[in-house]
A = this chain, B = another copy of it.
């Protein structure tokens, strides 16, 4: 198989994750996430966030997290605002609509919404013949690999709080974002500025699992009912708790995120040196260089990756660096590219 830059979930799990799972042995635990490991992991996360009263729930995957969170918040006629590139709008097979809710979109910029984008949606929804926007969905990092700055997120958060909107942040790649040099946000900022968000484990070294953090008290009630109803309450919830303990007990999560970023940065610098441009700023472990179509085709013979968009006779392609990407593959890619 060709080496793949398709995504950051192509390798199983960091060895320390699997070791932690093995270390439990046949010790019994409570079912459905009421176990000591999940409690411990939630404690570590609350501490990291300086958010002692936040609720933390573990769930297997990101699409599932999105549909559970969004459907738990909205009344039937309420809608969610998202960028057109938002994962919930494009790549979740209508999961949000399947729970009954419309997604109102704006183009945004570099995968990001601004407060002005959000306001323009709010202003065009005036009466009961239209849905009522009630929740804003953003991703950090975005599908374009970009990050929000603290100023940007603060502006969105302020607008939401002044206008009766909740703010939900999809953190499937929160680690690479927070550890990006382009991002001046801390985990604590995320907890302060959003109402609910999740910290993605699957794409940063875990076998599977995301940690949903509910910061706003209004959104906490009966969340476990929603989890159960949507099939998201795993019998062995402990299996996620153990992993998040391993990720957050001593910095493994950030370490893996930084490594993903570093490999992507090296890759981007190599590509740039060869004279190619990028569609978006290079900020995390997703980079989107633009190659002539012929070059891209030859690269496809050597490596796995997704095409992003055609631009006349050029092709923007998405290269994702994983926590497990060997540095040698980065070197090899650059060498192969320079030889084309």
Q: Which A residues form the contact surface with B (CB < 8 A)?
A: 1, 3-4, 6-7, 9-13, 15, 18, 21-22, 24-32, 60-68, 71-72, 75-77, 79, 90-95, 97-103, 128-132, 202-203, 207-208, 222, 224-236, 238-239, 242, 324
Shortest CB-to-CB span from A46 to chain B, Å, is 21
- A231 near B64: Cβ-Cβ < 8 Å: yes
Given pairs A61-B233, A91-B130, A98-B229, 13 additional interface contacts (CB within 8 A): A7-B31, A9-B31, A11-B27, A12-B236, A13-B21, A75-B222, A93-B130, A97-B131, A98-B101, A128-B233, A208-B234, A208-B236, A230-B230
Please tell me which one of the listed residues B22, B68, B235 contacts residue A62 in the complex, with CB atoms under 8 A apart.
Answer: B235
Check A31/B6 contact, CB under 8 A, given A79-B94, A98-B100, A235-B203: yes
Which B residues are CB-close (under 8 A) to A3?
28
Question: Can you report 15 residue pairs joining A to B where beta carbons are below 8 Å apart?
Answer: A12-B21, A12-B26, A12-B236, A18-B21, A21-B207, A60-B61, A66-B231, A67-B230, A92-B229, A93-B128, A97-B131, A98-B230, A102-B103, A128-B222, A202-B236
Which of chain B's residues has its CB closest to A207's CB? Answer: B239
Instruction: Report Cα–Cα, A207/B26, bound state, in Å.
Output: 12
